[in-house]
Amino acid sequence: MDSITATAQSWLTDFFDDATKKEIQHLMKNDPEELKERFYKDLEFGTGGMRGVMGVGTNRINKYTLGKNTQGLSNYLKKSYTDSNFKVVIAYDCRHNSKTLARTVAEVFSANGIHVYLFSDLRTTPELSFAVRHLGCHAGIVLTASHNPPEYNGYKVYWADGGQIVPPQDGEIIAEINALSFEDINFNKNEALIHLIDKEVDEVFFEASVKNGNFNAKGKDDFKIVFTSLHGTSITAIPEVLKRAGYKNVTIIEEQAVPNGDFPTVESPNPEEPEALKMAIKKAEEIGADMVVGTDPDSDRLGIAVRNLEGKMELLNGNQTMVLMTKFLLDQYKAKGFKGNEFIATTIVSTPMMEQMAKAYGVEFKTALTGFKWIGKMIKDFPNSTFIGGGEESFGYMVGDFVRDKDAVTSTLLACEIASNAKANGSSFYKDLIDAYVQFGFYKEKLISLTKKGMSGAEEIKQMLKDFKENPVKVVQGSKLLWIEDYNTSTAKNVQTGEEKPINIPKSNVLIYETEDGTRIAARPSGTEPKVKFYISTNAKLDKAADYYSVNSQLETKIDGILSELNL
């Protein structure tokens, strides 16, 4: 008997419920391939905790895999703290089974003598991050699969600082989980330790969001916003935060305002994809709105569309919104006077324009691996430094440090403040962005994402990255290769001089080429989805705003050439 069948058979004991056993027996008889997919490995923690397809099996999200996580985490908490009055807070999003699974997780914690603050209904991920510190908890859990397809769910772990767990802690927690068998899960709940929470935390979170995202912008009465929660959790927070900050003209896309794990009106509830905001953009054109904002199901990412120079709605990418938000915050700090300990941050696959701005403003620039947990870790690691703001190309942004994860709630307010103020001053969000290109250099990025599912897909991704490393390009669009940054070996090598420099951030499966003209091409596998991603960044000098379209066109042609050269 092979090991996969043996693992599946171990789920046929009396410990497992009848429905689970019945399904496994059915798969054993009728669908050995599906059985293999479900049991060939254990679900692992990636850049965003554990995420996977729901269903029966070790490679699926279900009450047993999440129960085992929770039992391991309970054991780890008891080893990590001498404190005996343990507290955790749990939130969940709009996905199928999220409420039930959150309840299961709460019950396992309570069975282990841990006090649980469980949100009575769905809430945003930033509110969970905020609640960890607000309630003085040792840890927090959010059940979400972000913008993955409807069949997915996930389990993200936060620590006492409100940030996601990072190495070596994640490894230590995984070791605790792996040391357990499923039969070690304690499902004997203690109801007295489960406390439902809602408005009392909402109120403080809304206040903090308005305090951090509101800059008393001009022109709010004349500023029209179209907002969509894409069937997710942000409907519980963003309309209220905008209202409290003084925005009266907010049109909500009602068809997408009802939380629904099937995401019935979109192919994918991902604001990175133009199709997801189609309904909102159509409405904005109809009513002459100034801005469209859409958020993903757990409300940590936001997509923004604004009117371009021709007056048409255009969806901006994560790098563009990050750059302008950061510039606006830098200007606010500069007006008050820098104290000399401020920093901004982004990730290694995001736009190099962030570093150029940091230099221009004389603030420190920090860069991290992909995944917002690394930016949260910076705040924890440098308690005497002040985090102004920062984000990543994948539509995530964080304003200040009151939340320790990407936060579409406060970022939405900030984007509206920038755009409303710009409009009142005779400019626009788009024009201000072009002015930033004139000031700091015009950086244009593109992401190519290839999906490769299952066991064969994982092998294909591995091979693509191996080829990228072992057969590097020599020239990209006429510019010679200068540096190869290998994050697996923590080494950057100048291919022209042979000089090597250490990369002082944790190891990761990422490879970046940089050419003489500053073009950057990064390749990495996704930590949460069966995808391999290629990030391309090009740049050019923009002498004046009037040259924007011609220079933009040159950079687009260059990116097309790069894709062709790399066979992407």
Cα–Cα distance, 279 to 283 (Å, whole number): 6
128: Cα separation from own chain's centroid: 14
Alpha carbon separation from 86 to 80, 92, 120, 137, 338 (Å, rounded)? 11, 20, 20, 7, 39
CB 326 within 8 A of CB 354: yes
Q: What is the torsion angle, in degrees rounded to the nearest 10, for the CA atoms of residue 27, residue 32, residue 37 and residue 42?
A: 70
CB 452, CB 532: distance < 8 Å: yes
Classified as helix, coil or strand, 191 is helix
> How far is 269 from 148, CA to CA, in rounded Å?
8
CB 237 within 8 A of CB 245: no
**List of residues 6+ apart from 40 with CB closer than 8 A:** 4, 59, 455
Which whole-number Å values give the CA distances from 156 to 93, 177, 493, in the listed order? 12, 14, 35
How far lies 540's CA from each of 269, 424, 446, 556, in Å? 33, 30, 15, 11
Residues 391, 372: Cα–Cα separation, whole Å: 8
Spatial separation of the C-alpha atoms in residues 364 and 361, rounded to whole Å? 9
- Crossing angle of helices 408-424/429-440, nearest 10°? 90
Contact call for residues 34 and 139 (beta carbons, < 8 A): no
Query: Catalytic: 385?
Result: no
C-alpha torsion angle, residues 148, 152, 153, 159 (rounded to 10): -50
Q: At 287, list the tokens.
A: 């009513």
Decide: 391 and 397 in contact? Cβ < 8 Å.
Answer: yes
**Which residue in 98, 129, 146, 428 is the catalytic one?**
146
Q: How far apart are CA 469 and CA 450, in angstroms?
A: 18
CA separation, residue 479 to residues 192, 286, 483, 512, 519 (Å) = 66, 45, 12, 15, 8
Q: Other C-beta atoms within 10 Å of 33: how many?
A: 9
**Residues labelled as active-site residues:** 146
